[in-house]
Structure 1
Amino acid sequence: PNDVVYGLLEDDTGRLWASTNGGLSMIQYEEGAFRCQSFTHEDGLPGNEFNQYAFYKAENGLLLFGGPNGLTFFNPADIRPYPHPPGLALTAFELFNQPVPIGGEEKKSSLPAPIDELSTLELKHYQNHLSFEFAALSYLQPENCRYAYMLEGLDPAWVYTERRHISYPNLSPGRYTLKIKAANHDDIWMEQPRTLRITILPPWWATPWAWAFYAATLLGGAVWFVRWREGTVRREERIREAERESFRKRSARDFHDEAGNKITKIALLTGVAQSRTRDPHLQPLLQEIAAHVEELRNGMRDFIWVLDPSQDNLYNSLLRIRDFANHFFENSSITFQMEGLHPRMERVALSAHHRRQLLLLVKEALTNCLRHSEAANAHLKVHLKEGLVHLLFHDDGKGFDPRQASHGQGMKNMIARAKIIGAQLQVHSLPGQGTTLELTWKITQKGEPLPAP
């Protein structure tokens, strides 16, 4: 309170009393901090100035201090803080350091009631420079009252001050709570602070509805882009597929015209040579050439059939297998039958690669039947339901032990081809009871088989 100290006494409770040029000061240590309270002429002292060496503590605890205006003595135990905290009132509200009127024609920039009567305050986003004035309601030394304030949502802790004016510039949109409390001259604080809930509205482009619109627009744009991209990919795939089919058609046609003619000429020349030669050593060679030419012709038919995109379905694949089997068993003692073939199978797509694997797998089974089974009858049954294809080939031949046949190259080839097309192959056979092969797989709409469960 004052830098000039004339005397210093300690009372019975450990408090220090100092006489100064600015009155009488009481100093005590409480809760880890020093607290100082000053008493002046306004508190009843004869004057604010004291004399040097004019201080004394009596045996009964009285403290005596002398000054130019007389003697001051008192019992420190009688000096007790004033127990009643002051009230507090908000006295003014400003926006950008300009007073805000109450009511008026421009309601957007006016208050509906005095600021002290309001518990809530709602402002636009551009009304973000706020100032408040307040006052402690105390008739006892109001000039010595202290204040503390805090804006929840911005201030991390209470701010203590002796000023009655606070400002908050450039507040962001959001919700805040202004809290202000006051203490009397004896530092007795209000139990409950004065509160004012403040809402600064966001601009229209930052409202929840605006963010929802942005999110919806972004989501819609993303969905549109994904669909556009998928459409583009599908179009590009259709173009590439058309190009592939066109290439396959041209290749099949060109191969048929070029290689087919050459093979036909070789077969004709071989037949002419066989009819004209009488050399017994040359006839076996010509017969072997004719056999190889026939095998080459059959292989070429299969190759051209695989290249032809118009055959890329299950129905045409099974037709090819049926025609091959009929021709294959034509001059044998085995009677072949096939059932279950239906035109609706044409709607089931099957890629060229998988058509070829299926044809070769069945050919291997038919060849084994003709060479080893000694059967009288062979039967191929096909069943299609909900994309699940089930092929059952059975002969009434002598049968075999699958455990021994599994090591043969033919069985290994069939298992490998079934794996390629994602099918499950099962072989059932016992000596003297014939042989049954079951091939099961699931085909997608694009003709790519899925492993059967």
Structure 2
Amino acid sequence: APETGQFDFKLGRKHPDPSKSTIAGFIREDEQGRIWSSSWGKGFLIYNDATGAFDDYPDGPGITTSFIFDRHPIAGPIIWSGGGFYGLYWQTLIDSAIIQFPPRPREPFSHNNTMVRSIFKDPETQIIWIGTEAGVEKYDPNDLKFTRVMLPDSISPGQFSSLAGIVQDPYSPHHYWLAVWAKGFFEWDRQKNTMQSYGLEKGLYNHEVFDIIVDRQKHIWLAELECVQEFDPVTRRFRTHKPDFPTPGINHKILCLKEGSDGSIWIGSNYEGLYRLDPKTGRISRIKFMDKPQYVRCITEDKQGRLLIGDLDGYFRYNPANGNLEHFLTRDSIYHTCNGIVFDRDQRLWLATTEGLLRVDDQGKVKFALTTRNGLQNNYLNGIEIDKEDRFWLASANGLHRYYPKTGVVEVYRRADGLFDNDIAMGFRMLKRGELFIGFQDAFNMINPSRMPMNPYPPRVVLTDVHILNRPADWRPGAPIVLQPGDNVVSFAFSAINFTQPEKTVLLYKLEGFDPDWIETKQDIITYTNLDGGRYTLLVKARNGDGIWSPEPVRVTLRVIPPFHRTIWFRLLVLALAGGIIGLIVWYRQEQRRHLEVIRRRIARDLHDDMGSTLSSIRFFSEVAQAQLGDGPGGVKTLLQRIGQSAGALSESMQDIVWAINYRHDNLEDLAARMREFGLKISEARGIQFNADLPETFQQRALRPDQRRNIYLIFKEAVNNAAKYSKCTGINVSMQLHRNRLSMEISDNGNGFDPETVQYGNGLNNMQQRAKEIRGKLVIQTEPRQGVRILLDVDV
């Protein structure tokens, strides 16, 4: 007691009170707050607060070890406990019923028949872990999808003890009737899991039973070797019907049965084909299809009352009303065997064949095929059933397939899901209540597809290891992983903790900043190589076998330090160096340009000062000589006049050259002013009216020296030609600038000329050449007595 600090001896091996002397085990508290103790000899004990002692709980086993409280979906609150007769059992707390777990050597999922020493229930996954003297066992309510039922040892095990078919008793919902190939006919009590044989001694004709159905009269029909038997589940009596088999020396087997809409029983045999049995009269008639043997595998009926008959050679459609027979999918190959025929909700016909699942139209043409190319694990299908949710269940030689026709999704179930085998050959039947039964050797599975167990617990993803350059890396959980320059390979090892069918666990990962989409894998190691420098985040999540994903992905931060030549500093340095080089080049070109401008300015000044003054002196001296000569010899005077005129012309040309090379005039405004000045001078000398549409000011637009010179010379040539040869009375000049395009037009009202008859002289050809030099376009428009119009367009 806390008040006294002393212990009260309640229960123990050497307790002086014999009623309290026992080997106490584990102590736990239930939902009601009661204290329970296991013991060696007295089973469970419950502490009584009123008496201060442990009372014996009314249980069967005297030995109990470790235990836990749990809740069963049907039995309610229970106790899992070690002990009992086989080392493990559980007991209900409502009626104290005890369920033992005896050894079952044929069942690999059974208890190992050793004492349980510890039991633990995982609160996250609801898995119960059981520690035994022979190892650890696991009970997972979400692991096995399919209920497993073993045929009792009284039905001798062997290769011919496979379940061929099953039907529910029409009067007792907990009783079922089983047809076991080569072993006979049995009644199964599902609640007690007991089986009673109805063999030869009770009226069964033959132990080889291949199919079983229930008709509208609640009679059970058995397909057997050489006969069909009708069984009344009320009177428990058999009635035998033997068809007439015309071919002797054959083991005639009745493989399948089908009740027609008119109450007839249709019989499919392994050699003679199809028979019809009238239950009222017992009369059997044969429906002959072909001369060769027919191996009828399955029979179904459409809404028009026509029979669809699966055969080794495709399938037949037979109309009993008029005897019309049609044959489809005919080939001389066993691989076109039709083993199952169903109609879906939309009355579309589906066939389970040895080449996969086929959907065919009313003319027998294949409209869709589900094969190994688009979802199946094996094309050899032995049966087909459709559940209440319109999902197809396909029995194959490599697992049980569930096919969703609306989405095309195919799910596969195998031994890990609880099936006894992956090869499903016979005994494949969906009963009216919606339960699917699957027959195997000495056993069968069953499941209600609408209530299939699912694992709702997603896997928990954990980073377990990191390798850099294939060597273990030093890392701490939560800390960024750093890759130094040269660490171009990094691997991450993850563990998706999932104890429910872990082989179906799938990882999904994405490296943000590198992977554009999520990547799915079943590998637990993720490797990246040659990542660029920067920060990345690796996201990893997992999915269990039932498609439940981790709610949040695990995040691993990765920092990659790039080599110096790939760092931002190196790039900035390269950019700065490149900028410096470019700046140096620009500065050098500007210096060269300034130097050329100085030279041009000096040349212009020298030409103006030296040669201009010299030409002016020549002109002046020629005029003085003419004045002094007076009326002297005419030839001398004329020569002096020519010298003066040539000097004047040369002086004007020199002025044009000086103007052209002077950089101060490299703009449109100076060009326009020069053109206006020249045009007025020429026109006034000739008595011609000169009209210049030249803006007084242009927007600031510089011209290259070659552009300025050639545009001016084209203008000068055009004006000179108009003044000298056209006999015009007016010259019009206009110049406009539209963005980067300069347009100039020069026209006169003179005589013009015919371009077809007049050959261009040097002046017009020079104008065209100058336009090409500045990449411009020059157009000359003229007609006799219509003047001349010259157009120039050039980019500036």
TM bin (shorter chain):
0.5 to 0.7
What's the CA shift for 1:380?
A: 0.4
One-letter code aligned to 1:417 = R
Residue deviations 1:280-309, cap 9 Å, x none? 220110011011001110011011111211
Matches within 5 A, 1:179-194: none
What's the CA shift for 1:341?
A: 2.2
What's the CA shift for 1:342?
A: 2.9
Matches within 5 A, 1:315-394: 315-345=669-699, 347-394=700-747
Determine whether 1:310 maps to 2:664: yes
Corresponding residue number in structure 1 for 2:561 = 210
One-letter code aligned to 2:773 = I
Report the CA distance shift for 1:352/1:238 in structure 2 as closer, same or farther (over 3 A).
same
CA contact (8 A) 1:339 1:381 kept: yes
What's the CA shift for 1:204?
A: 12
What's the CA shift for 1:325?
A: 1.4
Corresponding residue number in structure 2 for 1:174 = 490
User: 1:423, 1:201 → 2: CA distance?
Assistant: 58
Determine whether 1:415 maps to 2:768: yes
Corresponding residue number in structure 1 for 2:610 = 258
Determine whether 1:229 maps to 2:581: yes
User: 2:532, 2:778 → 1: CA distance?
Assistant: 68
SS at match of 2:627: helix
What's the CA shift for 1:353?
A: 2.1
What's the CA shift for 1:209?
A: 4.6
Determine whether 1:274 maps to 2:626: yes
SS at match of 1:338: strand
CA contact (8 A) 1:120 1:197 kept: no
TM-score, with length taken from structure 2: 0.32
Residue deviations 1:23-56, cap 9 Å, x none? xxxxxxxxxxxxxxxxxxxxxxxxxxxxxxxxxx
Unaligned 5+ segments in structure 2 are 1-459, 474-486, 496-502, 505-521, 535-557
Corresponding residue number in structure 2 for 1:197 = 525
What's the CA shift for 1:250?
A: 1.1
One-letter code aligned to 1:233 = I
What's the CA shift for 1:220?
A: 3.1
Which structure's relative contact order is higher, taking Cα pairs within 8 Å and 6+ residues apart? 1
Report the CA distance shift for 1:406/1:176 in structure 2 as closer, same or farther (over 3 A).
farther
User: 1:172, 1:259 → 2: CA distance?
Assistant: 77
User: 2:465, 2:695 → 1: CA distance?
Assistant: 80
User: 1:329, 1:367 → 2: CA distance?
Assistant: 9
Corresponding residue number in structure 2 for 1:248 = 600
Unaligned 5+ segments in structure 1 are 1-116, 131-170, 180-190, 444-453
Report the CA distance shift for 1:121/1:201 in structure 2 as closer, same or farther (over 3 A).
farther
CA contact (8 A) 2:470 2:490 kept: no
What's the CA shift for 1:340?
A: 2.7
One-letter code aligned to 1:121 = T
What's the CA shift for 1:348?
A: 1.2
What's the CA shift for 1:200?
A: 9.7
Corresponding residue number in structure 2 for 1:441 = 794
Higher helix share goes to which structure? Answer: 1
Higher strand share goes to which structure? Answer: 2
Corresponding residue number in structure 2 for 1:122 = 465
User: 1:339, 1:329 → 2: CA distance?
Assistant: 15
What's the CA shift for 1:217?
A: 3.5
CA contact (8 A) 1:337 1:379 kept: yes
Residue deviations 1:206-257, cap 9 Å, x none? 9665339935344433433333222222211111111111111111112211
Residue deviations 1:143-191, cap 9 Å, x none? xxxxxxxxxxxxxxxxxxxxxxxxxxxx974226799xxxxxxxxxxx9
User: 1:421, 1:311 → 2: CA distance?
Assistant: 18
CA contact (8 A) 2:531 2:560 kept: no
CA contact (8 A) 1:125 1:200 kept: no
Residue deviations 1:120-148, cap 9 Å, x none? 43336499269xxxxxxxxxxxxxxxxxx
CA contact (8 A) 2:465 2:492 kept: no
Residue deviations 1:366-389, cap 9 Å, x none? 121112211111010111121211
Report the CA distance shift for 1:432/1:204 in structure 2 as closer, same or farther (over 3 A).
closer
User: 1:431, 1:204 → 2: CA distance?
Assistant: 77
CA contact (8 A) 2:692 2:732 kept: yes
User: 1:228, 1:293 → 2: CA distance?
Assistant: 53
CA contact (8 A) 1:396 1:435 kept: yes
Between the aligned residues of both structures, percent identity stands at 24
User: 1:203, 1:328 → 2: CA distance?
Assistant: 77
Report the CA distance shift for 1:359/1:205 in structure 2 as closer, same or farther (over 3 A).
closer
Determine whether 1:295 maps to 2:649: yes
User: 2:673, 2:772 → 1: CA distance?
Assistant: 23
What's the CA shift for 1:279?
A: 2.2
CA contact (8 A) 1:128 1:172 kept: no
Residue deviations 1:307-344, cap 9 Å, x none? 21101112111211211111112221311121132323
One-letter code aligned to 2:681 = H
User: 2:668, 2:637 → 1: CA distance?
Assistant: 43
CA contact (8 A) 1:381 1:392 kept: yes
Report the CA distance shift for 1:212/1:301 in structure 2 as closer, same or farther (over 3 A).
same
CA contact (8 A) 1:122 1:198 kept: no
Residue deviations 1:344-363, cap 9 Å, x none? 34x11112222221121111
Corresponding residue number in structure 2 for 1:425 = 778
One-letter code aligned to 2:639 = L
CA contact (8 A) 1:174 1:199 kept: yes
One-letter code aligned to 1:303 = I
TM-score, with length taken from structure 1: 0.54
Report the CA distance shift for 1:406/1:319 in structure 2 as closer, same or farther (over 3 A).
farther
Q: Which is worse superposed, 298-307 or 326-335?
A: 326-335
One-letter code aligned to 1:174 = V
Matches within 5 A, 1:29-44: none
SS at match of 2:562: helix
User: 1:172, 1:351 → 2: CA distance?
Assistant: 56
